[in-house]
Structure 1
Amino acid sequence: MEENTSSKYEFLADDPNFNAKPVVISLIIGAFFAILNETLLNIALTTLMDVFSLERTTVQWMATSFMLVMGILTPISALLLQWFSTRKMFIGTMTVFTVGTVISAVAPSFSVLLLGRILQAAGTGVLLPIIFNTFLLIFPPERRGSVMGTVGLVIMFAPAIGPTLSGVIVEYLGWRYLFITVIPFALFSILFGWKYLRNVGEVTKPKIDILSIFLSSIGFGGIVLGFSLAGEGESGFLDPSVYGTLLIGVVSLVLFTIRQLKLDEPLLDVRVFRYPMFSVAVGLFLIIIMSMFSSEIIMPMYMQDALLLAPAAAGLILLPGSLLNGLMSPVMGKLFDKYGPRKLIIPATLLLSITMLTLSTIGTDTPIALIVACYMGLMLSISAIMMPAQTNGLNQLPKRLYPHGTAIMNTLQPVAGAIGVSVFVSILSARQASYVSANAQDPNAQINGIVSGVHSVYLIIFGIALIAFVLSLFMKRAKPEEEHTQSDRAVNE
């Protein structure tokens, strides 16, 4: 199939002969079930411990490996997007993901299951940048809010509903069905994409810098791995393997950044941070991802260990918030197109702050209705912040930086997720241990310790949410590239 470089039409959606719907549908179907797997196993980890006779630190690699592989491969996606056509990239990544899903479904041992999980992550890590880059090339800035709202339904709703689906499926069907139910949808996505997906963009095949790939892999991989290990071990960040891994990751990232600034064709062009709206969007994106991923771990722990609820019940309590998130993401996209980012993001960061402050007061006698309301507030604020901020930030970039901007955004997702989960789970565990040690005679010390840990965690997240509010005050609608060509030149000089 011939490449469409959109030389005649600046954006393919303006071409009367171009039908964007099949392209959007192809990418959305594949992305939903790929991203769903990020959190699908959260509640199932305890079951896998029993099935394969594993320790918690071992089974946690089901989550750690997923984020680690994404952290390594996603930065390289900017290069891959310039080497292979859209169809080849999409079909290839979805095929890898599907093979991993089949292996996981039939895995006779934990090592085979982990291999399947790694292949799933490899497909998912490259798929997200494909989606963002494709939509940026197809749709003009004034229509991207609505389209990215639909993407937001996938990126936020899929991992948000993962714990709910996981609890129900594991309890009533068994853990293998977490993978079996995904297989037919993944196959359908490949076939649909094969028939309808159209190539966009231009295959330029830039020079491959092996040293950049090495430094990127060690850097992002080291940070994800280090924070993940901190959340799994008893010593936390005091473990030499943890701070040693983090140190190697940070040093590698510094060297990686220096090298990218010197290359004519960088693997990941960090000059995108010279665009102020992109930098503000990254800050908000990091806070939202940390808040969402940590809550999706901590809330089930609180409900199961403090409120003594079954996994399915805990998952169902989170369902209204997940559904609200999915329903509101497209709405928020349309509102973004109409009103811009400020009128959405400023109120949403206030709602996020209020929600986190309320969660810092919950206990064993907290009404379930309040927990449901708080989670709905969290998910609503996420839908109003994440995609509008991300879309606005990417809108300010010139087209040549689209692959780099999308790759950086999507690389930061597993990094922020690993940081949020490890730091806040470590804080919760430390606070619980401290409470139990100080109240050894209390028969409910373990339960009350969990509650004390939850209070500490959400007070800290409340402080971070206030930072998001301050960042939102600097947000303004980004001008499309054609409106600030001269400023682009000035930035690049």
Structure 2
Amino acid sequence: MALMSIMAEYSVDSVTAQWLVTGYMIVSTVVVSCMAFLYRRVKLRTLFLAAAILSLGGSAIGLFANSFAMLMVARLVQAVGTGIFIPAMMNTILAVIPKNRLGTFMSIGGCVITFGPAFAPVVCGALVTSFGWHSIFVLPAVVMVLLIGCCFAFVRNLENYPAQLDIPSVALSAVGLTAFVYGMAEITANVPLAVGALAVALASIVGFAHRQFHCESPLIELVPMKNKRFVMPLLLVMMAMMTTFSMSVLLPLYFEGALGMTALFAGVVMLVPVLSNAGATLFGGRFMDKRGEWPLLPAGFACIVVGLALMIALGRTMVLPGVFAGAVVVYAGVGLVMSPSQTAGLKNLPPQQNPFGVTLMSTCLQIAACIGPSLFVGVMSSVQAGELAEGMSESAAVAQGFSVALVVAAVIAAVGLVVAFLFARPGARVLAMRERKPERKGVAPDDAVLARIMETDPYTLPSTACVKEAISLLMDRKVSGVPVVDGTGRAVGFLSDGDIMRYLADHHPLVTGAYSVIALANQSTFDERLRELVSLPVGVIATEGVVGVSAGSSLEDVCSLLARHKLKKVPVLDDGRVVGTVNRSDVLRYAMGTLVETCE
């Protein structure tokens, strides 16, 4: 929204000014490509704090920028912070959210990714019109200060793993991405230069891919790319991102250049499409959790194609209501596609590939955000220049360039519609089978399986019980662990025989298991320190916090949790209270029984 003012102040054309957006996206993409390393190596709070500080620093530089070069530096510094924030958020969602709620939370995260760039024209339009373009850096600076405070108050660290950064891979990705975006931007203006840049990009990308398969510490693990059910949603995310970022750039240029609106009024006009995007994003996430990708993804791309067709038909006539209606439909379609496509792709990966899947998804998302504006603004500028040379008025030339750029966008969206149909169509058959036969041979619906197989009368220990009571319970009930609850019945921890062994190992050489503790407790020679130990409250040695599943979790979530944390048993929780327990044997018995019934 501020590009028109920046172009006027620094006397640069739209292609040059567009590098404030494109350069930002290139740097953030390079940082995103490093996030599989950073997320595994650096603590989450440190990453969050570094991203906030860098974003704050970039905003401060931009606020006082007195040249185009200084403004570019500000944007590049901000880009580093953005490159950390987005994949860190997505990785955290995958780490802490059960898969049966993944669509909803990914849609909330998608609102963060798409709502910001989409809502920016409204806020920036008001600020630019009222206070000048420098003022657009004030709000991000204030938000970053608040986020730094929230970092210390709320962000908790997750588990880290050893990792190394492959510098040649970083260099190859940076060169390849920069050359590719530059070639796409120049393709309509200087074909030989564009072809040369794209050739450099291709060579760099091939070299990068080759190195990832042969170096000891690849920057991005490319194994997820062998999974077709991951690659197809990845393409859908890229095409949706190209659309939304392009609309965020093209529509303000059209409203101001062709229709003569002020930045403020153009921002107000953009408000309704932005809100339609937010509403559709949240709806899409909930729909994805309940029914899957069919018919959500094809319907979303159909909306994008229809909306673009409407804007193409009416853009040349400069009829605001028609273009406005088309924009609303396009933004809503993007909302239906973006987050559900991410969810559909990432849920098909095993947990150990999640960091690499997120890095690939985020990197391609950023690449699409680079390609879209560069390609479409390049097309728009080229057509506009040609029409001006033939004597067309400024506003009519802008409208013509806008319409031609949207034709390219519509072709890409049509390809997305085909891919979405091919990807989501198998889900239609599964959905039809579920609706036709909700229960077959006694097999319960997915959300009822846990209620059937869990132990509904679980053994628990009050947090005030002593260790000796706990050992007696483990022995009498022949179990290896029990949840620890407070006075209201809420789970506050979990005590296993392993907790007892770990605590006692350094206190007595004869302690090798729970049975030996009971035996030694009845001997007069039992060490006094062990007598004190068995009288301690279980809260002293129990593992604090509870790794559990909610009562509405799917069997897939239970299996994932048991495998990820290497557990034999987990409590089933309803509003924090223990309502049951489920272990590996319960799951295996159900799975084998279902397999036998299915084969009969």
Normalising by the smaller structure, the TM-score range is 0.7 to 0.9
Match of 2:169 among 209, 212, 221: 212
In structure 1, how many angstroms separate the alpha carbons of the residues matched to 2:72 and 2:409?
32
Partner residue, 1:127:
85
Contact 1:73 1:217 in 2 (8 A): no
Structure 2 counterpart of 1:157, from 111, 115, 123: 115
Whether the aligned pair in 1 keeps the contact of 2:258 and 2:396 (CA below 8 Å) is: yes
TM-score, normalised relative to structure 2: 0.68
Q: Distance in 1 between matches of 2:358 and 2:218?
A: 15
Q: Secondary structure of the equivalent of 1:181?
A: helix
Relative distance call for 1:210 and 1:92 in structure 2 (3 A) is same
CA contact (8 A) 1:94 1:190 kept: yes
**Does the alignment pair 1:418 with 2:370?**
yes
Instruction: Determine if contact 1:352/1:465 at 8 Å carries over to the other structure.
Output: yes
Aligned letter for 1:253? Answer: I
> Who is 1:77 aligned against?
35
Residues 53, 422 of structure 1: alpha-carbon distance in 2 compared, 3 angstrom cutoff: closer
What secondary structure is seen at the aligned counterpart in 2 of 1:81? helix
Aligned equivalents of 1:172, 1:296: Cα separation in 2:
20
TM-fit CA distance, 1:207:
3.2
Asked if 1 retains the 8 angstrom alpha-carbon contact of 2:284 and 2:335, the reply is yes
Does residue 221 of the first structure (1) align with residue 178 of the second (2)?
yes
In the alignment, is the contact (CA less than 8 A) between 2:383 and 2:397 conserved in 1?
Answer: yes
Q: 1:455 — aligned with what?
A: 403
Matches within 5 A, 1:165-244: 165-200=123-158, 202-228=159-185, 230=186, 236-238=189-191, 240=193, 242-244=194-196
**Aligned position for 1:259:** 211
| Cα deviation, residue 243, structure 1 | 3.2
Instruction: Say if 1:396 and 1:480, in contact at 8 Å, map to a contact too.
Output: no
Instruction: Indicate how the Cα distance of structure 1 residues 431 and 271 shifts in structure 2: closer, same or farther if over 3 A, else same.
Output: same
- Do the aligned partners of residues 301 and 55 (structure 1) sit closer, same or farther apart at CA in structure 2, a change above 3 Å counting? closer
Please tell me the residue identity of whatever aligns with 1:386. M
1:466 matches 2:424: no
Q: Does 1:304 align with 2:252?
A: no
- Choose between structure 1 and 2 for higher RCO, CA contacts under 8 A separated by at least 6 residues: 1
Distance in structure 1 (CA, Å) of the matches to 2:81 and 2:118 = 20
The one-letter amino acid of 1:468's match is: G
Matched, 1:145 2:145: no
Q: How many residues are paired up?
A: 433
The 2-side partners of 1:152 and 1:133 are apart by 13
1:351 to 298, 303, 307: 303
- Alignment deviations for residues 306-348 of structure 1 (CA, whole Å, 9 cap, x no partner): 2222222222211100012123322221111011111211211
Candidates 322, 325, 333, aligned match of 1:373: 325
The counterpart of 1:324, out of the listed 276, 297, 310, is 276
Residues 184 and 436 of structure 1: is their aligned pair in 2 closer, same or farther, counting only changes over 3 Å?
Answer: closer
Q: 1:374, 1:54 → 2: CA distance? A: 30
The answer as to whether partners of 2:106 and 2:343 remain within 8 angstroms in 1 is: yes
TM-score when normalising by structure 1 = 0.82
Aligned-residue CA RMSD in angstroms? 2.5
Amino acid at match of 1:173: F
Deviations 1:150-206 (A, max 9, x none): 111111111001122111110012222211122221111111111211112x32122
- Which ranges in structure 2 are unaligned for 5 or more consecutive residues? 431-554, 563-600
More helix by share: 1
Q: Which has the higher strand share?
A: 2
Q: AA paired with 2:324?
A: V
Other-structure match for 2:6: 48
Report the equivalent of 1:8: none
Offset, 1:365? 4.3
Larger radius of gyration: 2
Segment drifting more, 410-419 vs 84-93 = 410-419
Taking the aligned partners of 2:71 and 2:203, their CA distance within structure 1 comes to 32
Deviation at 1:106, TM superposition (A): 2.5
Deviations 1:120-163 (A, max 9, x none): 00110121110111110111211111111111111111100112
Query: Quick one: which amino acid aligns to residue 178 of structure 2?
Result: G
